[in-house]
Amino acid sequence: MLALAGWLTGRRPRMLVAGLLAALLVTVLLHPIKNLVATERPARVLGLQAVHVIGEKLSRRSFPSGHSATIFAAAALACALCRGAAARAGILLLATLVGASRLAVGAHWPLDVLAGAALGWTCACVALRIARRWPAPGRTLQLALAVLPLLGAVWLALPVAEGDGYEAVRPVLAAAGLLFTIRGVRVVLQSGE
């Protein structure tokens, strides 16, 4: 999402707004639902002898899957950017594989993944509809919006106290976010308003 947001800076300002709005909607809706439902994870219910957990053993806040919500929000935005059916099918396949991976690592129940996918897709569709009705952001707003993926890339590059399982790819994700956002900011600065 970070690299996509950085790439959209200066190129597709309405899509950048939609992406940031979708991320905000997913965050605002996902965490209260997780806290309200408070479903236990498969390893907690079935026991470690019945579930092979890959990565950290999570015990609660299973519903809905945050990974699925995020990838399906990104997939909806990416599908809106693509014209071809094959590209859209590939995007949906990739999102589905990410959702399935949450089952494979023992982190979620199937309903968690489906609910997360529905939440992410819906939030992105709402964000796209809102962004299309607003006027295209001007140069100043685009630069202001570019601060968010830029800060995200910097945060991702910083060492963290607790590992999150993504240590090997953190530098790559941070570099992609930084490079795409810096390139996008240059595009905005070179364009006239």
Q: Where do the domains of the chain lie?
A: 2-136
Is the pLDDT confidence value at 102 over 80?
Answer: yes
Q: What's the CA gap between 173 and 18, in Å, rounded?
A: 21
Dist CA 39 CA 32 (whole Å): 13
Of these ranges, 28-37, 39-48, 135-144, the one predicted with the greatest mean pLDDT is 28-37
Largest CA distance in the chain: 62
pTM score, whole prediction: 0.80
User: Sign of the CA dihedral 98, 99, 102, 107?
Assistant: positive
Q: Rounded to an integer, what distance in angstroms lies between the CA atom of residue 190 and that of residue 8?
A: 15
Task: Give whichever of 57-71, 109-123, 128-142 has the largest mean pLDDT.
Answer: 109-123
Q: Which of 86, 75, 59, 85 is nearest to 118 (CA)?
A: 75
A 10 A CB-CB count for 168 gives: 7
pLDDT of residue 49: 74
Is pLDDT of 59 > 60? yes
The answer to whether residue 150 scores a pLDDT higher than 90 is: no
Return the H-helix or E-strand segment holding 82: none
Q: State residue 158's pLDDT score.
A: 72
pLDDT of the residue at 140: 81
Question: Which residue in the block uniquely carries the two structure tokens 């240059």?
Answer: 186
